[in-house]
Amino acid sequence: MTLAKLQEHHIVGAPVPRKEGRDKVTGAARYVDDMVLPGMLYGATVRSTIARGKIRKITYGPGIPWEEFVTVTAKDIPGKNCIALILDDQPCLAEETVNHPEEPTLLLAHADRHKLRKAVEAISIEYEPLPAVHTMAESEQQSTIIWGSDNIFKSYLIEKGDVEAVWKEAAYIVEGEYSTGAQEQLYIENNGVIASFDREKGVTVWGSLQCPYYVHKALMALCGLPEEKVRVVQMETGGAFGGKEEFPSMIAAHATLLAIKSGRPVKIVYDRMEDMAATTKRHPSRTRHRTAVGKDGKILGGEIEFTIDGGAYSTLSSVVLSRGTIHAGGPYYWPSVRIRAKAVATNSPPHGAFRGFGAPQSLFAMERHMDRIAQVVGTSPIEVRGRNFLKPGQTTTTQQTIREEIGLDHLLSRALKLSDYHAKKARFARENKYGVLKKGIGIAAFLHGAGFTGSGERYLNSLVGVQAGADGSVRVLVSSAEFGQGTNTVLCQIAAEALGLPYENVVIAQPDTTVVPNSGPTVASRTAMIVGKLVQSAAISIRQTLTKTGLLGDEYTPEQFRVACREYIAAHGPLKAYARYEAPADIYWDDEHYRGEAYAAFAWAVYVAEVTVDLATYSVTVDDFVALQEVGKVLHPVLAAGQITGGVAQAIGFALYEKVVWQNGRMVNNQMTNYIMPTSADLPPIRVFFEEIGNVHGAHGAKGIGELPMDGPAPAILNAVEDAIGVRFNSIPLLPEDLFEALSAQSLDSKASFSTREIR
């Protein structure tokens, strides 16, 4: 098929059916809890009840036939007692001490689920309590050291220009402190795995997970097994949002240990309460800005201090911190800047991956701070952003030169027009003089890097494969996992277009570490751009192989492709092609000085939120939402719009609804009845629009899209709240009680001032 014919094929960019869609809607899709193996046991975890302490005694209570149970402690671990990830500091099972509530200490398995639950409740653990740390401020004080020598998991320093000089030049110095809370991922399907063990074959794990090779690495270390003796298979996965990036290694480890000791398959599936209380959440954060601004509202330079709460163990905090640090300056040009960042330890369950991965926290601060700068300078939020937008040829905070025509001014203008911003702002100002319903409108401009940060993609060295069968069908071989975002569909589209075949002729292999190569984790907005480009390359190699052998001409039909595949395989064996990631020559990152090309590409966006603040109920309702983003190329319009709509909905929860209530390091509102998330009735019309300028590093010009919509809604909403009522809020989630307290305090202050004036 000629290039011209390929371009007429139009699979990429078309709303083709989801590959797994039919099985999901008909109920044919198999999830972990649908799977039953012969002789299977059920497993459960006995967890700590205190934030920090030494284990003194474990008592197995009366009335339980303990001889029927399989029991595993840290002494039963055949390899290293850790969940191998980055620093390997998190134990699989606590042995002598516990460092957070819900820390796994003991495992049980039994054929009867009901007996298992009673047995867990019958076990009591006696502790010698130790001083615990529950907040970032307490951790920074270092009066109690709970990790390392200073309670700091990781720190970064970004320096650009001469920060000390800008304070003398500044017409204004604007300061602000901003904070965000923890957030639960709330995937539909809870964490679950099944593990089996065979002395000859080794360990096999089937799980609801994002990253098969993360689990593979963790089980090799835990069991002391070579890679060929560990097999990990991703089952159909009902949502993840980052919550199934690193945590499945823990639950897989527990099921594996029980399977090894019992010699039988073991299933562990958490209920919702355990899943919410014991698994990772979004990192709470605190960001401090001190910014030097000129008379014209342009940023001269500044200092940003970004701190996140990592919980009791390091897990992914260092890389979450990294992305948050790099995004802290937003889509703006900073001639000089110093960013100090750190992740600190507290005695709560470890925080981990969540859609956006640190960027929503630091970008919330940046976009609230931009509105503050506008107030101080005496200009509009629109003007202050327009004067400071990054332009091609300028450099980011890490000194990465912007080489693409990003057009942020155009994005801003289009977003304002789509939302009818100026007319609404004027109308709201008039109408807000009357009644208890106050309306406001706010904006946020932001960016999100696609792919692993800095040298990450170079280190991953990702590999993908494409295989053609004798029947002319094509199978994509990647470890990238489908968990609702559309990976299966988009990668098959890319392969079909590259080969000039009908979309129906291409399938994707189930992620299984004995079948698919390590394509890197399904995280970091990297799948469509990084993995998709490799799939495209591998598919083109298949076509070139058939062409070079003379079996296929420049133009061909699907039937001719089938015949060529059959003849090639008969003569030469399997027809496969692989593509490995090679870092572009112009992408260089200096890990030591933390500067350079942080990402091969950024996606850019401007969001506009319209809200109503009800001063009778102290509630905030989002009435309309415009989401405009530049994403390189839209590969599937329905899936792309769905990603944006879902991300905005999740971010509205982050901003206004979802508050994790902590008590001595434990989440105490770990039920769907008291951890409140927005329902469809609480969401506004979410109007999604795209711009496409392409990207040389992605398949068909695509960039990452899944995390982008998590970054902008929260600041846009709080900017709109301030526009409505003139009260500034710098912390989320913003709940009715927060509004009540702030407005009550403002009312008291006003009365006090009035009384004082009268007395004088």
Q: For the residues 55-74, what does the mean pLDDT come to?
A: 97
Gap between the Cα atoms of 234 and 216, Å rounded: 11
Q: Which amino acid appears at position 336 of this protein?
A: S
Angle (CA) 211 212 216, round 5°: 125
Q: What is the pLDDT of residues 667-722, one digit of tens each?
A: 999 999 999 999 999 999 999 999 999 999 999 999 999 999 999 999 999 999 99
759 pLDDT above the threshold of 70: no
Position 587 scores a pLDDT of 84
All structural domains of the chain:
3-30+462-580 (3.30.365.10), 418-448+600-760 (3.30.365.10)
DSSP letters, 468-512, are E-TTS-EEEE--PPPSSSSHHHHHHHHHHHHHT--GGGEEE---B
Question: Taking the mean position of all CA atoms in its chain, how far away is CA 496?
Answer: 29
Convert 205-218 to b/e letters by CB count within 10 Å (16 or more is b): bbbbbbbbbbbbbb
Give the model's confidence band at 5: pLDDT under 50 very low, under 70 low, under 90 confident, else very high.
low
Instruction: Looking at 524-610, list the stretches that DSSP marks H as alpha helix, in order from N- to C-terminal side.
Output: 532-548, 558-572
Q: For the residues 435-451, what does the mean pLDDT come to?
A: 97
Q: For the residues 289-313, what does the mean pLDDT come to?
A: 98
Q: What is the DSSP letter of 551?
A: S
Only one residue has tokens 């940046």, namely 366
Gap between the Cα atoms of 642 and 54, Å rounded: 48
Position 452 scores a pLDDT of 92
Report the percentage of the chain scoring pLDDT > 90: 94
Q: For the residues 725-730, what does the mean pLDDT come to?
A: 97
Position 9 scores a pLDDT of 58
Q: What is the pLDDT of residues 208-265, one digit of tens each?
A: 999 999 999 999 999 999 999 999 999 999 999 999 999 999 999 999 999 999 999 9
Angle (CA) 78 72 70, round 5°: 125
Position 92 scores a pLDDT of 98
Position 1 scores a pLDDT of 46
3 pLDDT above the threshold of 60: no
Gap between the Cα atoms of 426 and 104, Å rounded: 57
Position 758 scores a pLDDT of 28
Q: What is the pLDDT of residues 573-614, one digit of tens each?
A: 999 999 999 988 888 899 989 999 999 999 999 999 999 999
733 pLDDT above the threshold of 80: yes
Position 754 scores a pLDDT of 34
Q: What is the DSSP letter of 85?
A: S
Position 118 scores a pLDDT of 96
Residues in the chain: 760
Q: For the residues 500-519, what does the mean pLDDT come to?
A: 98
User: How much is the mean pLDDT over the chain?
Assistant: 95
617 pLDDT above the threshold of 60: yes
Position 753 scores a pLDDT of 43
Q: How many CB atoms lie within 10 A of CB 238?
A: 19
C-alpha distances (whole Å) from 436 to each of 69, 426, 541, 619, 724 are 62, 18, 65, 11, 11
Q: Which of 602, 604, 599, 601 is nearest to 629 (CA)?
A: 604
Query: What are the φ and ψ backbone dihedral angles of 232, each rounded to 5 degrees?
Result: -125, 130
Omega before 733 within 30 of 0, i.e. cis: yes
C-alpha distances (whole Å) from 421 to each of 414, 415, 418, 655 are 10, 8, 8, 21
Query: What are the φ and ψ backbone dihedral angles of 287, each rounded to 5 degrees?
Result: -125, 130
3-class DSSP string for 112-146: CHHHHHHHHHHEEEEEEECCCCCCHHHHHHCCCCC
Query: HSE on the CB side for 194, CA within 13 Å?
Result: 19
